[in-house]
Amino acid sequence: MAPLRIRHALGTATIDIDLENGTVLELQQEIRKVTNIIPSLQDVKTGFPPRSITLVSELPIASLGLKRGDQLIISELKPTATTTAPAPLPAASVPSRSSNPSSTAKPQASPAQPRPAPKFVEPTPASSRTAQQPPVTPTPAPAAPTASVGTALQPAEEIQTPSGVV
């Protein structure tokens, strides 16, 4: 048994685990006991600077390259469709096509596909406008007022242009 230090949102803890004969699933279960994060949502980082390690539950812990006394930084991943999907149906409940070729299986509905983002149409420059759109002529700005000592300046008039107010 080797100690591993666990850092997580609730604090730190030390777990003892068999680094040579244990499986990654056993490590994930020990992490869950300490952090209450289910294995499919565990983000495990180690080293300096911390780097995420890929956890494959069937592999031995030795495949992760961990050593006695290493520190693991644990955070919770946000649930996604793959981490929160229900377990697949057992093979016995899937109809076999070869057993009765005359029967037709109903097609299963595919999962909802994400919609494409709406397309953004760039405004056309004034030189490519058609004859239907009259060109916009900006109103000339009035001459800047001159002020004598003791008088306040009046604000300039706003000009409306195709790109906004000037």
Mean pLDDT for all residues in the chain? 75
Q: Which residue has the higher pLDDT, 107 or 65?
A: 65
CB atoms within 10 A of CB 64: 19
For the entire predicted model, the pTM comes to 0.49
pLDDT at 44 over 50: yes
The single-letter code of the amino acid at 138 is P
CB atoms within 10 A of CB 24: 21
> What is the pLDDT averaged over residues 65-80?
93
Q: Which residue has the higher pLDDT, 21 or 152?
A: 21
* Structure confidence at residue 101 (pLDDT): 47
State yes or no: cis peptide before 95, omega within 30 of 0. no
